[in-house]
């Protein structure tokens, strides 16, 4: 401390006062003051620290900015946008679903070949319209050859047994044989006739003509209609009843329309009721069909039931066509009717603009229904009869965007 006081007073550590003439330009008092400040700072850092103030470190409060109502549209001259009033309308709720035309399976006729063999020729193909009794294909079959062989053997055996029976009767009259021998001959004759009848029936099943022996089997159409399936080709083989049906003939004078109806909409569908059918190919033609079946099992993936509609086909419906089926609810409801121009279709939704006062219009979402005559549209929900709205919503929307 003595040395420090001497240093602060400017004394030379060696005992001589003042600094040397060639020393630092800084005076010893100045240097001493700097050292003292550093020492004080060091001692202050080693002392106890005060806890931080959490309020001083907290972020400033958030400033919330309120956005304007996006559904409001303000214009300078609202009188330029005339208003329309929703009108009350009694309507029958309808449900539109999509479907496809399918054959009536009860009118399908399979074409089979009871004889196995090789297909020699095919006289019809998929999509052809055929008549009952028309030749479809020819099959060369060993079954046919064996059937004719059995028939000829049966005829020869019957001829022999018949001659033996006649001879036995003649010998019995002369007392040359016993009656039991005639009975044996009669039994053989009866069995030979049964063999002939069995061989004839076998040939009839194969579709053969007894008067024209051949190994070729002709397969004819069992019914009139359109060939909707073909499973054979020329020179292919067939195993008779063990093979798939060679052809399938469908009578498309009556068809089925199969639709998918969500479980929430099944109340619109009732057995025996009529449904309106529209074809995408003929949008201006209307058809009607009767609901004949409602599926008892829902599709677990899309939660729909299959609904079958029986429709009489005048020749325009083709299998696989897409259709729109409209089901009608049994009771009527009250709905609104507005000009079609008052409804704005935006972002896959329907909207109308209702006056909100102070030169403003409010955009209100609605559920649009079907189009009506005189350029009117039905509103299912969102607007009540008597509500007023802008008559031309598109003009107001374009004005607001500008």
Higher pLDDT, 224 or 70: 224
> How far is Cα 216 from Cα 208, in angstroms, rounded to an integer?
8
- Angle, CA 84 vertex, CA 81 and CA 89 arms, to 5°: 160
Which among 93, 92, 97, 94 is positioned nearest to 308, based on CA atoms?
Answer: 97
Confidence (pLDDT) at 346: 86
349-357 and 108-111 beta bridge pairing: unpaired
Token code pair at residue 77: 């001259």
Token code pair at residue 210: 């007894």
What are the Cα distances from residue 231, in Å, to 101, 111, 122, 374, 379? 22, 10, 11, 55, 53
First to last CA, the chain: 86
Q: Percentage of residues in the chain with pLDDT exceeding 90?
A: 51
Asked if pLDDT for residue 65 goes beyond 60, the answer is: no
Which among 402, 401, 389 is positioned nearest to 81, based on CA atoms?
Answer: 389
DSSP 55-70: HHHSPPPP-PPPPPPT
Confidence (pLDDT) at 276: 94
Q: What is the mean pLDDT of residues 171-176?
A: 88
Query: What is the residue-averaged pLDDT of the chain?
Result: 84
CA within 13 Å, CB half, 194:
6
Domains of the chain, first to last: 1-17+27-40 (no CATH), 73-91+332-401 (2.40.420.20), 108-248 (2.40.50.100), 251-328 (2.40.30.170)
Which residues, in sequence order, are CB contacts of 94 under 8 Å at separation 6+? 268, 326, 327, 328, 329, 370
Structural Rg of the chain based on CA atoms: 52
Token code pair at residue 362: 């409010």
Instruction: Evaluate the CA torsion angle 89, 95, 97, 102 in order and state its sign.
Output: negative
Asked if pLDDT for residue 247 goes beyond 70, the answer is: yes
**What is the per-residue pLDDT across 320-353, written as a single tens digit (0 to 9) for each?**
999 999 998 878 888 899 999 999 998 889 999 9
Q: How confident is the model at residue 1 (pLDDT cuts 50, 70, 90)?
A: very low
Confidence (pLDDT) at 8: 46
**What is the per-residue pLDDT across 186-216, written as a single tens digit (0 to 9) for each?**
999 999 999 999 999 988 888 888 888 888 8
Q: What is the pTM of this model?
A: 0.60
Asked if pLDDT for residue 354 goes beyond 90, the answer is: yes
- 310 with 258: CB under 8 angstroms? no
135-140 and 216-220 beta bridge pairing: antiparallel
């Amino acid at each position: 401390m003595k040395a420090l006081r001497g240093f602060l007073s400017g004394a030379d550590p060696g005992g001589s006062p003042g600094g040397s003439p060639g020393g630092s330009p800084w005076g010893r008092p100045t240097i001493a003051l700097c050292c003292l400040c550093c020492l004080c700072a060091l001692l202050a850092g080693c002392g106890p620290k005060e806890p931080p103030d959490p309020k001083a470190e907290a972020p400033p409060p958030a400033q919330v900015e309120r956005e304007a109502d996006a559904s409001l549209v303000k214009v300078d001259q609202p009188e330029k946008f005339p208003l329309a009033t929703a009108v009350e309308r009694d309507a029958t709720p309808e449900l539109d679903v999509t479907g496809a035309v399918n054959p009536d399976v009860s009118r399908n006729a399979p074409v089979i070949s009871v004889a196995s063999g090789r297909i020699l020729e095919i006289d019809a193909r998929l999509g052809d319209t055929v008549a009952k009794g028309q030749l479809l294909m020819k099959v060369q079959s060993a079954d046919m050859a064996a059937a004719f062989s059995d028939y000829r053997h049966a005829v020869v055996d019957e001829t022999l047994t018949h001659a033996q029976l006649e001879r036995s009767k003649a010998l019995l009259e002369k007392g040359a044989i016993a009656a039991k021998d005639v009975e044996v001959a009669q039994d053989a004759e009866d069995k030979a006739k049964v063999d002939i009848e069995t061989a004839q029936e076998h040939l009839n099943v194969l579709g053969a003509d007894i008067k024209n022996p051949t190994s070729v089997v002709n397969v004819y159409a069992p019914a009139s209609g359109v060939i909707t399936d073909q499973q054979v080709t020329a020179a292919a083989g067939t195993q008779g009843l063990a093979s798939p049906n060679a052809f399938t003939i469908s009578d498309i004078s009556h068809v089925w329309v199969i639709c998918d109806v969500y479980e929430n909409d099944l109340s619109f569908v009732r057995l025996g009721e009529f449904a309106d059918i529209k074809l995408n190919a003929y949008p201006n033609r209307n058809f009607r069909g009767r609901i004949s079946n409602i599926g008892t099992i829902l599709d677990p993936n899309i939660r729909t039931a299959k609904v079958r509609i029986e429709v009489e086909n005048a020749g325009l419906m083709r299998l696989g066509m897409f259709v729109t089926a409209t089901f009608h609810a049994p009771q009527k409801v009250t709905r609104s009717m507005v000009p079609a121009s008052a409804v704005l279709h935006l972002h896959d939704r329907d909207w109308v603009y209702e006056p909100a006062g102070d030169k403003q219009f409010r955009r209100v979402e609605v559920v649009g229904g079907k189009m009506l005559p005189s350029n009117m549209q039905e509103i299912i929900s969102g607007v009540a009869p008597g509500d007023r709205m802008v008559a031309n919503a598109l003009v107001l929307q374009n004005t607001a965007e500008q």
